[in-house]
């Protein structure tokens, strides 16, 4: 019996296999995306994505494209979280009935240089579950640097 030599798998075949797996995964993970009919706030915007420790930035969101059902007195809680898990004090921010808001938040002096996020809680993003599809958090990434 002649020994069979293993031939290396071609790079094209491996790339094709990887692409097929990725496409299959993407089509089966639709439950991980928010329901397209679900009403969610507009994306966050920050005055600068680069901020020094002790510096401040403005965080805002435009009006939602749908009716969030907010009554007068609605509010969000906003904090800056470093990549190491350190957090700023939470700032409570009044939210307009249309979902818009704007506030200033300070990055603590103690934050080390690196990645951080502005995290908003109290929005419909917090209410996502298995029945409504999981949602991405209501955050925006920033960089802290001296």
Residue 134 has pLDDT above 90, yes or no: no
Which residues make beta-bridge pairs with 42? none
pLDDT tens per residue across span 65-115: 999 999 999 999 999 999 999 999 999 999 999 999 999 999 999 999 999
Segments making up each domain of the chain, as ranges: 44-144
Give the chain's mean pLDDT.
80
Q: Is 63 helix (H, G, I), strand (E, B) or coil?
A: coil
Q: At the topology level of CATH, where does 44-144 sit?
A: Immunoglobulin-like (2.60.40)
Residue 14 has pLDDT above 70, yes or no: no
* Angstrom distance (rounded) from CA 42 to CA 24: 30
Q: What does the block give as tokens for 87? A: 């957090």
Residue 28 has pLDDT above 70, yes or no: no
């Amino acid at each position: 019996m002649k020994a069979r030599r293993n031939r290396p798998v071609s790079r094209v075949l491996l790339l094709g296999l990887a692409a097929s797996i990725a496409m299959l995964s993407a089509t089966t993970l639709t439950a991980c995306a928010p329901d397209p009919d679900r009403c969610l706030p507009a994306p966050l915007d920050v005055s600068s994505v680069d901020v020094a420790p002790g510096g401040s930035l403005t965080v805002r969101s435009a009006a939602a494209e749908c009716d969030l059902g907010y009554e007068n007195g609605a509010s969000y809680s906003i904090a800056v979280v470093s990549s190491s898990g350190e957090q700023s004090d939470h700032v409570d921010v009044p939210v307009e009935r249309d979902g818009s808001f704007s506030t200033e938040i300070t990055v603590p002096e103690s934050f080390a240089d690196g990645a951080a996020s502005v995290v908003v809680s109290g929005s419909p993003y917090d209410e996502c579950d298995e029945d409504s599809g999981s949602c991405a958090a209501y955050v925006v990434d920033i960089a802290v640097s001296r």
